[in-house]
């Protein structure tokens, strides 16, 4: 089966940098995937695209060494199975508030006797290899999101679910559910909670990931011990790069407008 580079990266004790795609463009997915990210996640929950775009985007990511992941719209076993059939090597599942739901997510990722996934890997075999069914149990990575008070209360039980590979913190939904503002940098109050999530998950041998507002925040969470960090999504990258280029041009324009008027030197050539 094709190597799960992200899994190898994490098992080697290194921090993974994950891209997050919301725009729905296979071309953009290909460009991002070739930038050096360890994994690329397609966001079906909040991304501006539907299932119809998923296969083309997974194909685009597959041209690079980055591992393809998908966030489904909800913890639906049928949707999870279809996304794995399409070639996702990992699933980051939202709206998981208890251990029972986490268990259903894990079961949906694996074939019997380890789970309840229906046979029909389609592109999974094309991408993964002819031994896909036999090797998928040791290769695919189920993640569940911790983004609610209920999930925090059930954190130990969720992390104890057999076969769960990782928990992924959704700081904005978590902040909202705890009565804090969402958007922008993670607040100190929510940050303290994320540290506890990291500690509890690692105590159970489960990996941790987190969505961050920017590169500096992602570097901070890598430093405190998160295994996978996401430095914003493709829309924020595009917006930031565009703003920087506009500001660079405007700065020259503003500097020129504030400079003293240049005096044209007198001609000494005897011209017209």
d(CA 209, CA 121): 27
Whether residue 149 contacts residue 170, with contact meaning beta carbons closer than 8 Å, is answered with no
Q: Is 46 an active-site residue?
A: yes
Q: Which of 5, 9, 34, 46 is catalytic?
A: 46
3-state helix, strand, coil in the chain (%, to 5): 45, 15, 40
Whether residue 143 contacts residue 166, with contact meaning beta carbons closer than 8 Å, is answered with yes
Locate tokens 């920087």: which residue? 244
d(CA 117, CA 78): 8
- Written as one string, the DSSP assignment of 9-47 is HHHTTPPEEEEEE-S--HHHHHHHHTTT-SEEEEETTTS
Whether residue 108 contacts residue 143, with contact meaning beta carbons closer than 8 Å, is answered with no
Residues with catalytic roles: 46
């Amino acid at each position: 089966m094709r190597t799960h580079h992200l899994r190898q990266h994490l098992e080697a004790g290194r921090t993974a940098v994950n891209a997050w795609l919301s725009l729905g463009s296979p071309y953009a997915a290909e460009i991002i995937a070739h930038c050096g990210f360890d994994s690329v996640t397609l966001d079906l929950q909040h991304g501006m695209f539907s299932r119809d775009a998923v296969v083309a985007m997974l194909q685009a990511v597959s041209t690079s060494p980055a591992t393809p992941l998908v966030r489904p719209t909800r913890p639906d076993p049928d949707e999870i199975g279809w996304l794995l059939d399409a070639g996702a090597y990992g699933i980051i599942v939202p709206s998981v508030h208890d251990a029972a739901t986490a268990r259903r997510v894990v079961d949906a990722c694996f074939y019997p006797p380890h789970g309840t996934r229906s046979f029909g890997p389609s592109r999974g075999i094309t991408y993964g290899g002819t031994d896909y069914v036999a090797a998928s149990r040791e290769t695919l990575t189920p993640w569940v999101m911790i983004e609610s008070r209920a999930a925090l209360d059930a954190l130990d039980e969720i992390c104890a679910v057999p076969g769960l590979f990782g928990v992924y913190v959704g700081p904005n939904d978590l902040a909202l559910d705890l009565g804090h503002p969402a958007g922008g940098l993670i607040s100190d109050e929510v940050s303290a909670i994320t540290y506890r999530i990291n500690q509890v998950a690692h105590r159970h041998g489960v990996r941790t990931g987190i969505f961050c507002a920017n590169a500096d925040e992602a570097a901070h969470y890598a430093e405190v011990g998160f295994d996978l960090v996401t430095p914003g999504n493709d829309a924020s990258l595009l917006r930031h790069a565009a703003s920087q280029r506009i500001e660079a041009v405007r700065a020259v324009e503003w500097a020129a407008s504030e400079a003293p008027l240049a005096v044209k030197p007198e001609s000494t050539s005897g011209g017209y």
